[in-house]
Amino acid sequence: MMSQETVGEASPPAPSPAGDKPVAAAAPAPGADPAAGTGVAADPAAAHPATSAHTHAKDSFAKLTLGSVGVVYGDIGTSPLYALKTALQHNGTEAVSQGEVIGIISLLIWALLITVTAKYVLFLMRADNKGEGGTLSLMALAQHALGKRGGAVFLLGVMGAALFSGDAIITPAISVLSAVEGLGVAQASLVPYILPITVVILIALFSVQRSGTAKVATFFGPVMVVFFGLIGFLGVIHIADAPVVLNAFNPWHGVRFLFGNGATGFVTLGLVFLAVTGAEALYADMGHFGRKPIQVAWISFVLPALLLNYLGQGALVIHDPAAVKDPFYLMVPNWALIPFVILSTLATVIASQAVITGAFSLIRQAIQMGLLPRMEILHTSETTEGQIFVPRANRMMLVGVLLLVFLFKSSDALANAYGIAVTGTMVVTTSLAYFVVTKMWRWPKLWAVPFIGFFLCIDVAFLLANFAKVLDGGWVPLLLASMSMLLMWTWVRGTALLAAKTHRDSISTRGLIAMLAKSKPVRVPGTAIFLTSDPEIAPSSLMHNLKHNKVLHDRIVIMSVKTVDAPRVSPANRYKIEPMSDSFTAITLSYGYMEIPRMPAALATLRKAGLKFDIMTTSFFLGRRTLKASSHSFMPKWQDHLFIALSKQAATATDFFSIPSDRVVELGAQVSV
């Protein structure tokens, strides 16, 4: 057996050099030097030709629809707990007029109809990237349409991903806290226990992530069906308290409230946005359930339940103005309040779970696209590819969520921090959609500009309204997003500069083969696989092996891993084999940004394809590098040190690509950046 020899610290590979399509930034190549350029398999034919429907073709339509109710709509479904209450209380808790109630509910209704139904459900879900949705998928789609002119699109995608990271931390905090606060409505003596119970639930939620959510997910759909059914039923009952609330369907009442109350109306618009904060999940989770099940679930069940509940809350407040303190829970009879609080808490946990899972998926995409260093990613299901767990991200999110709970202490206070990140993501998504409809769908600008402009104006209005909450807590998601963008920018910039440096200091693989043909080094039996980010450049591990051990194996494989601008790659297009000489072979493995390359599976595929080698006599040679700051860097000193710190946190190629550790030799060196 070959022992594992390690020299130096691991550091990550770079995305593609300047000039390549940013979306084509390759996945971190296994064992690659941090400076090696990665390139991309840009041919869309390499991607799986079918959409993600193949992943759920065996599932019944009804099962997928039920699953979408549980996973996709958890966030937006729990918005009634705090959205209307927060908006009404901003206008005063003592005397809220009938006109104000109807105006605010009108804004809520039309926000759901325009932003969620028209924009996301009917329009954006058509912009799928091989069946996948979300900000980074849309970015990949837009960049594929623009080719090498996609720098602005790349920046928009990074911005959207960074903003989502802020939302992923705030959502569990506000959702669980708002549900547990129902205990205070049921029994005033329970108020001191609200914060401790919230903390316990959140710690338990993040603790179970390691075991996977596949089994728990089977209960998500039925629980949310019961929840939506009950809140819709309660709404129907209380609409009778003040049927005049049905006038809220007339958009004029919302417009009159917005423009007739000065700054108050505009600030209230930002609070109304809380009703649509889960809309981005519709698009992001499309690959899990498919477009049609999500659309059917929304139009036929979830939307009616939400509309009825908001109308019922409004009618209750019109009938009894004192109910403004918590109209959601005050709709429930006293005898049923505790069970309903438990059900609502369970619903908020489900909503939080959906956001956490979405964050894990986003991190995986960012790693594959070269936006973040490698992290350990664990699969928690043997049958479902999307069930993953990112330990480091899970710990960071838990710390962030608990800090928010202790900092704000109530859902009303936390509502001020909520919304800016989501509205920013929506602006990014709408902007990216413009490039898709004009470049891929070939819409004339005469149609595209007013169509996209309409949605963009609404998104920008929501964004500006939310900016009014910056000093009251809105700075939190902005700070989180800024930190995320700084990390991604530093990583992309540092790896690109390091890639250029390595290219300047390296020799080509074919040049090395020609030199070896003349020098004829000592050969030893077996196969050596040298993993690199760029097969055109001689891997540093190969150069170090020649320099120090002065031998070559009988068969040399130069293997690289590349990420295409599609979610998945079909098995038929997984590999490309190119003989370089009698003893040298170049192999390129292509993966989508939703996939995690696994070396054992790749080797099994190559053996079936006819590549002859004995795994027991095959050794993997990986390059590891220790980075140190250079006195002549193209980045500021602080960014140099940040990049070096990030590289030290990267998972080893052996772990990330599941390479058998007893077949690995790691050779390292120090490199200045």
**Rounded Cα gap, residues 353 and 359, in angstroms:** 10
Q: In 3D, which of 415, 170, 416, 134 has the Cα closest to residue 279?
A: 134
Cα–Cα–Cα angle for 602, 606, 611, rounded to 5 degrees: 150
Task: Record the tokens describing residue 210, joined without a space.
Answer: 């390691």
User: What per-residue confidence (pLDDT) applies to 113?
Assistant: 96
For the chain, counts of helices (H) and of strands (E): 27, 8
Q: Give strand ranges (E) for 592-632.
A: 618-628
Q: Can you tell me whether residue 526 is helix, strand or coil?
A: strand
658 CB burial (10 A radius; 0-12, 13-18, 19+): middle
Query: Within 13 A of 280's CA, how many CA atoms are on the CB side?
Result: 33
User: What per-residue confidence (pLDDT) applies to 150?
Assistant: 64
Q: Give strand ranges (E) for 376-479.
A: 378-379, 388-389
Q: What DSSP state is assigned to residue 472?
A: I
Residues of the chain with CATH 1.20.1740.10: 61-494
Q: Tell me the per-residue pLDDT of 541-596, one tens digit each, with 9 for 90 and over.
A: 888 888 888 888 888 999 988 888 777 888 888 889 898 988 899 999 998 877 87
CATH domain 61-494 topology: Amino acid/polyamine transporter I (1.20.1740)
- Banded model confidence at residue 239, pLDDT cuts 50, 70, 90: very high
> Of all residues in the chain, what percent carry a pLDDT higher than 90?
25
Q: What DSSP state is assigned to residue 523?
A: E
Phi-psi map region of 536: left, alpha, beta (phi>0 left; psi -120 to 50 alpha): alpha
Residue with structure tokens 């020299």? 7
User: What per-residue confidence (pLDDT) applies to 297?
Assistant: 93
Average pLDDT, the chain: 81
Q: Tell me the per-residue pLDDT of 505-541, one tens digit each, with 9 for 90 and over.
A: 778 888 888 888 888 888 888 889 998 888 888 888 8
- Predicted confidence (pLDDT) at residue 9 exceeds the cutoff of 60: no
**Rounded Cα gap, residues 523 and 549, in angstroms:** 11
Average the pLDDT over 51-68 and give the result: 62
Cα–Cα–Cα angle for 123, 125, 131, rounded to 5 degrees: 150
- Banded model confidence at residue 47, pLDDT cuts 50, 70, 90: very low
Average the pLDDT over 456-465 and give the result: 92
Phi-psi map region of 658: left, alpha, beta (phi>0 left; psi -120 to 50 alpha): left
Beta bridge partners of 669: 625
Q: In 3D, which of 119, 88, 120 has the Cα closest to residue 105?
A: 88
- Predicted confidence (pLDDT) at residue 247 exceeds the cutoff of 90: yes
Is 136 or 23 the better-scoring residue by pLDDT?
A: 136
| Kind of pairing between the strands at 378-379 and 388-389 | antiparallel
- Predicted confidence (pLDDT) at residue 56 exceeds the cutoff of 50: no
Q: Can you tell me whether residue 554 is helix, strand or coil?
A: strand
**Rounded Cα gap, residues 218 and 220, in angstroms:** 6
Q: In 3D, which of 281, 272, 296 has the Cα closest to residue 109?
A: 272
| CA dist list (Å): 398 to 203, 204, 214, 395, 521 | 7, 10, 20, 5, 54
Phi-psi map region of 650: left, alpha, beta (phi>0 left; psi -120 to 50 alpha): beta
- Banded model confidence at residue 385, pLDDT cuts 50, 70, 90: low
Q: Tell me the per-residue pLDDT of 639-650, one tens digit each, with 9 for 90 and over.
A: 888 988 888 888
User: What per-residue confidence (pLDDT) applies to 155?
Assistant: 85
- Predicted confidence (pLDDT) at residue 283 exceeds the cutoff of 90: no
**Rounded Cα gap, residues 48 and 63, in angstroms:** 25
**Rounded Cα gap, residues 571 and 574, in angstroms:** 5
Q: Tell me the per-residue pLDDT of 291-322, one tens digit each, with 9 for 90 and over.
A: 898 899 999 999 999 999 999 999 999 999 88
Residue with structure tokens 């479902």? 384
pTM: 0.75
Amino acid letter, 187? Q
Cα–Cα–Cα angle for 608, 612, 616, rounded to 5 degrees: 100
